[in-house]
Amino acid sequence: MQLQTSQAQGLRVRTSARGLPALARRRTVSVSAVASEPRVEVPSSLQNNSSWSPASWRSKPAQQQPEYIDKVEVEKAVAEIHRMPPLIFAGECRTLQQRLAKAAAGEAFVLFGGDCAEAFSQFSANRIRDLYRLLLQMSIVLAFGGGVPIVKLGRVAGQFAKPRSAPTETIDGVTLPSYRGDIINGPEFTEEARRCDPQRLVRAYNQSAATLNLLRGFSYGGYAGLSRVSQWNLDFMKNTHEGHHYMDIAKRVDEAIQFMIACGMDTNMPFMRETEFFTAHECLLLDYEEALTRRDSTSDLWYGCSAHFLWCGERTRQLDHAHVEYMRGVHNPIGVKVSDKMAPNDLVTLIAMLNPSNVPGRLSIIVRMGAKKLRDKLPSMIEAVQRSGQVVTWVCDPMHGNTETVSGYKTRRYENVRSEIEAFFDVHDKMGTVPGGVHLEMTGDNVTECIGGGASISEDDLNSRYHTHCDPRLNAEQSLEIAFYVAQRLRQRREAMNKAATN
């Protein structure tokens, strides 16, 4: 499908009359409409992308890049990846951008989830399948409760590189380079493992290609068909409260399908047999991203073909640095993670740099603050973006603002994760704006890495099944519990909108 680009896509923003509840002042989307001109000055150097190339980031300071010893080996690895086929395609990115534009208007919701960092040692078809099944389960819960389409984005098939707060770490008096993700070095605390190895770039590409091949098979080969809803429940979830709750929904979906079949619906229609699934990762390792940047033959535009969606992290979003320079030139839908450290005016400037044409669905702002800071800081950010006339998709990352160390383990408390999501919805409800999605570090494995939730994981349980190479992830039961809570909030929003519309 060829979709319109640049100013040809957009939102026509309309609010309800004064006197309606704030929640009812809702934006509506029209993808064929033209977006309003943003009321913010865009630097003259960014009025067009004539000065941009896939390698123009090299003229800027680049944070969080590995220090390779053998530059020749790096060039060989990058050249090999450059000769490889793209992992994703421009048309898929344009479809995703259209879906994210709907989420910005409240007519869809983004479910963003997956591993903190993919690992070579944990790569298997079963692990990919279990994460995929969990995301399908969560999307059914959200769609059933929220009454809107769910945009499924997986942190998978490329989420290998991790930013670090320090270049080295010291254990028992021994200092070695920090682990930066399997695409760069290994997690084992040895000098050999911590050496930056360029051949890991090629291995990461190959694992991503294999992962995408399986995901596409699941998505378009019938596995994700609605008739299989009751078969997606993970085996170890069957006797849990959340597993039973999910099966209740699955039964109701099955009954609805049987009714539609009785009314003459064709079960071979694509929406019954297939589902859209998109991949995402942090745009961190720029040698790798440049090698997979390709010009689309149908639009003549550049796309980062390592994933459908790329985001810039809290540590690499400097306005005049390499990561923002790279991301402003690719036409994928992109995101930026922001914390309470981001000043509202700086956020407006960053949005203008990354989306100067104000294309809806182009840019998602992923907020990560912790519940209290979010209630204090997010309203001023939303107000600044609204005043500027900019259109973004607001997404909540309740994980990274809630990390702590307990008994020597890095962990997160389920209650804090849920509290931040609650604050995110509360702020948007109060301001009459749209909560567009949620971003979770999670796994389909039965791990014990986050404390609390219905799984009742205690501090003493952390050493039982703590398998992450980096940050702690919600397990399947905790993730599904979050999905039920978000579905409840989406349902409440829908009911408030319907009530306001009839008054």
In the annotated binding site for phosphoenolpyruvate, the residues are: 155, 314-315, 337, 368
Residues forming the annotated binding site for Mn(2+)?
116, 400, 441, 471
The enclosing H or E element of 437 equals strand 437-441
For the chain, helix, strand, coil in percent to 5 are 40, 15, 45
Pairing between β-strand 174-177 and β-strand 334-338 as defined by DSSP bridges: unpaired
Say how many C-beta atoms besides its own lie within 10 A of residue 242's C-beta: 23
Quickly list DSSP for 323-337: HHHHHHH--S-EEEE
Which helix (DSSP H) or strand (DSSP E) does residue 176 occupy? Answer: strand 174-177
**Dihedral class, residue 209 (left if φ above 0, else alpha if ψ from -120 to 50, else beta):** alpha
Which pair of tokens denotes residue 179? 């682990």
Phi-psi region of 139 (alpha: psi -120 to 50; beta: other; left: phi over 0): alpha
CB burial class (10 A; 0-12, 13-18, 19+) of residue 60? Answer: middle
- How far, in Å, are 186, 408, 432, 488 from residue 442 at the CA level? 21, 21, 30, 20
Residues placed in the known binding site: 116, 155, 314-315, 337, 368, 400, 441, 471
* CA gap 148, 127 in Å, rounded: 28
d(CA 74, CA 177): 18
Q: Taking CA 56 as the corner, what is the angle to CA 54 and CA 57, rounded to the nearest 5 degrees? A: 95
Q: How many other β-carbons are positioned within 10 Å of the β-carbon of residue 167?
A: 11
CA distance 419 to 202: 40
Residue type, 161: A
Residues 5, 357 contacting (CB under 8 angstroms) = no
- Spatial CB neighbours of 18, under 8 Å, sequence gap ≥ 6: none
Residues 6 or more apart from 170 whose CB is under 8 A from it?
176
**CB neighbourhood size of 124 (10 A):** 9
